[in-house]
Amino acid sequence: MCGTIVVNRQASEPVSETTEKSVRRSRVSGIDRALQVIDHLYETGAPAGAYAIAKAVGAPLSTVYVIIDDLVEKNMLARNGDGTLWLGSRLYHYGLAYARSLDFMSVATQEMHDLCRDAGETVQVCGRDAEHMLVLAMADGPSHFQVASRVGTRVPLNWTASGRLLVGHMPEAERVELFRRGARMSPTGRAAVDAETLSDAARTAFEERLSIQAGESDYAVACIASPIVDRNGNCVATISIVLPEQKAFADKAGYADRVKASAARIEALMGWRQHGTSPHGINP
C-alpha cells in the first residue's frame, strides 16, 4: 500500500491541497518548537528544566517533554545529573563545521592569536546579535587575569567598546532606535543608557576606528577595540584587547595602535581594504 493514502479516503481520491498544507504546517511547527527550546537555552546561557523551558517558550509541558527526549536522544541536548538540559555535543560539532567554512573567521582567528602574543593580553573577536554583542572567538593571554566573557557570551551593546563599534556605521535613526530597545544598566552601573548619547559615541568610535571602555561591564576591566569593516563600509565584527584597567591606561596608545593595525590586516586579507585605507577612507 502507498504511504500517501489518507485514512477514510478512497485510494483513488487525491489528497487535497489543504491537507498537504496542513501536514507541512504540522512538520514546521515541530521544527519550530525544537528551535525554540534550543534558542531559549542559547539566549539564557544556562541549563534549565523542562518546566522552565515550556513556560519560557509558551508550549504545553507534554509537548516540550516529547521534543526534549527526542533532542537528547539525538545529542542535540544533554541532560545533566540534576535533570536540567543544556546544549548537546552535536550542536558543537555543527558549529565547528560552520566555523571552518567561514574564511573570515579563519583569518580573524589567526590575527587574534597573533595579537594575543604581541600584546601579551587576552584578545576577542566579537559580532552583533540583535541588541547584543556576541563573543565569537577568544585567545587567553599569558597572565593570570581572568576575563568573565567567554566564547558565546552575549551582553547588551551599551556595555562594551565593541558594542558601540558594531552599530557605528548604521544611520543615526537606526542606532538610536537600537539603543532605545536594547540599552540596559550594567552590573557596575557605569555604562551609559541614554540612546542619543550612545548613538553619538558609536558614530565617533567608528569614525576613529577605536573604542575604549573601562569598568562599564566588569569592575577594573578595560577593553580596547577596533572595527573590522567590509567592502560596503559595514562593521561586521570587532577585534579587541581585554585587560586590567590600570594596565590599559598605562599604555593606552600602544594597545590602541596594535588593535587598529590588527583590524586593518584582517580587512586587507579579506580584500576589503585597498592601498592601506579603510572603506571609509580612514588610515589605521
44-87 pLDDT, tens per residue?
889 999 999 999 999 999 999 999 999 999 999 999 999 999 99
Confidence (pLDDT) at 103: 84
What pLDDT does residue 17 have? Answer: 47
Buried b (16+ CB within 10 A) or exposed e, 120-131: ebbbbbbbbeeb
Per-residue confidence (pLDDT) for residue 100, from 0 to 100: 66
Q: What is the mean pLDDT of the chain?
A: 85
Residues of the chain with CATH 3.30.450.40: 102-269
Q: Residue 131 in 3-state DSSP? A: coil
What is the per-residue pLDDT for 134?
93
CATH class of the domain at 102-269: alpha beta
Residues of the chain with CATH 1.10.10.10: 17-91
Cα 186 from chain centre: 18
Pick the more confident residue, 267 or 16: 267
Give me the percent of the chain exceeding a pLDDT of 90.
Answer: 63
Task: Assess if CATH 1.10.10.10 describes domain 17-91.
Answer: yes
- What's the pLDDT score for residue 92? 86
Helix axes 252-269, 103-119, angle to 10 degrees: 150
Mean pLDDT over residues 147-157, rounded?
86
For 185, residues 6+ apart whose C-beta sits below 8 A from its C-beta are 191, 193
